[in-house]
Structure 1
Amino acid sequence: MNKLDSSLHRFPVKHFGTASDFLLSAESEERDTLMIACADQGGAPDRVSFAKSGRFFVVQHLASSIRPAGDRDENSEISDIEFAFSKYKIKHVIICGHTGCGVIRNWLLYPDAPDVSGIRARFEQTTLEAVNQAYPEYSAEDRIEALICEHTLFQLEHLCSHAFIRNKLEAGTLQLHAWVVNDNTARVRSYDPARGCFAII
């Protein structure tokens, strides 16, 4: 994957965890990790990790999408996230995209299809516009990869716009992770905010 445009996102490095957070406690069964995955990703997206699946509370949305705070329909995608925090001592949140995302490909192929939820329109206004401007020279294959990576990061921004998430980040009780899974190889790349790229775990 080519290096991403660092000007598109400004994440405090201190708010991010690393793969070692899971390696050091790989045998833990404590449900302390919320994974927000794609509804097109299959039934067990948490199996991509080397940590035990019992650690994960998984929610699946279209293209791992999260509505930002203030969105008129924000409760439709944030309520299950709030539930996870109310029931478990969540220490990590992973936004998990995947290279074979059929949702994003359908949005690109059928831009005039009905968009009842408004999720596709938000994708077009944020991710698609940013990628078109930042990576105009990319090949079709590289452009899809950039769209998936950037979309994952925009969903992380949307998550951080919610006050209950910001409060936990500032208190140091929550760490962020952005992953992209290769559907063909099951290899996971994790976002490194210091380097501005996704690196293989």
Structure 2
Amino acid sequence: MEDIEKFIRGFSRLQKQYLSEPAALDSLRQGQHPGTLVIGCCDSRVDPALLTGCDPGDMFVVRNIANLVPPCTPDAPPGVSSAIEFAVCGLEVARIIVLGHAGCGGIRALMSSARVTEETDFVARWMRIAEPVRRSVLRELHHKQHEQQCRAAELASILHSLDNLLTYPWIKRRVEAGKLALHGWYFDLGSGTLLAYSPRKQEFLSIIDPVGAAPERLCA
């Protein structure tokens, strides 16, 4: 009951902050016009709106295990793909952010030695989307510790999802026309930092450092 009461108090704060002003409420009633689609993980510690301090209507969010994007194929999971299609073709968002994070349980399941044994192992079946990431990490970092392999897979899976986004023709067309930008972000739970992928440097760089740390400028 404590959780339920906390949730109700939270809604009360939201009501006072956003829903008590007629103008703000009217704007929300008229429909949504987010400029950003965020594809994040289901992990309860990495809520995209909470992490970025967004207001209602700022972002369209798709969450799944390990923030994966399936490639555009006839048998692609319709839940994630349809949400992406609606955000891009319907809402015409200007950017897509794939938001990964440290300590991802889905990635750890992917990198585990255990394989799928039952058809009802939905997590393992879903994580097959990132199987190329697992193979690549194990091939290139076979000499590294398991934790290092998992972190490498967390980062690589973001890039894999960005590549998969470009298999959707209506995304590829918009990117090539300069109407849609793709971003890869990584929230490091251990250090409290936010990293973004720099295509120019081909690495993830800090865009928000811990308090007191000297910032490393991101050059996209």
Q: Secondary structure at the match of 2:163?
A: helix
The answer to which structure, 1 or 2, has the higher relative contact order (CA under 8 A, 6+ apart) is: 1
> Could you tell which deviates more after superposition, 56-65 or 113-122?
113-122
Pick aligned residue for 1:37 from 40, 43, 47: 40
Q: Determine which structure has more spread, i.e. the larger CA radius of gyration.
A: 2
Sort the Cα spacing of 1:149 and 1:52 in 2 relative to 1 into closer, same or farther, 3 A: same
Q: Secondary structure at the match of 1:89?
A: coil
Is 1:111 the counterpart of 2:111? The answer is: no
**TM-fit CA distance, 1:74:** 4.0
2: CA distance, partners of 1:113 / 1:45: 33
Q: Which amino acid aligns with 2:136?
A: A
2: CA distance, partners of 1:158 / 1:33: 18
Q: Which amino acid aligns with 2:127?
A: R
Question: Gapped runs of 5+ residues in structure 2?
Answer: 1-31, 208-220
Pick aligned residue for 1:62 from 53, 56, 65: 65
Q: Match for residue 75 of structure 2?
A: 72
Contact 2:137/2:149 (<8 A) preserved: yes
Question: Gapped runs of 5+ residues in structure 1?
Answer: 1-28
Pick aligned residue for 1:141 from 147, 150, 171: 147
**TM-fit CA distance, 1:133:** 1.6
Number of matched pairs: 172
Is 1:184 the counterpart of 2:190? The answer is: yes
Pick aligned residue for 2:102 from 99, 105, 120: 99
Contact 1:35/1:46 (<8 A) preserved: no
TM-score, length basis structure 1: 0.75
Superposition CA RMSD, Å: 2.3
Sort the Cα spacing of 1:52 and 1:170 in 2 relative to 1 into closer, same or farther, 3 A: same
Q: Match for residue 14 of structure 1?
A: none
**TM-fit CA distance, 1:123:** 2.1
Q: Secondary structure at the match of 2:34?
A: coil
1: CA distance, partners of 2:190 / 2:74: 35
**TM-fit CA distance, 1:104:** 1.6
Contact 1:48/1:188 (<8 A) preserved: no
Q: Match for residue 120 of structure 1?
A: 127
Pick aligned residue for 2:86 from 83, 92, 96: 83
Contact 1:31/1:54 (<8 A) preserved: yes
2: CA distance, partners of 1:62 / 1:42: 13
Percent of aligned pairs with the same amino acid = 26
1: CA distance, partners of 2:126 / 2:74: 11
Q: Secondary structure at the match of 1:178?
A: strand
**TM-fit CA distance, 1:49:** 2.9
Pick aligned residue for 2:173 from 158, 163, 167: 167
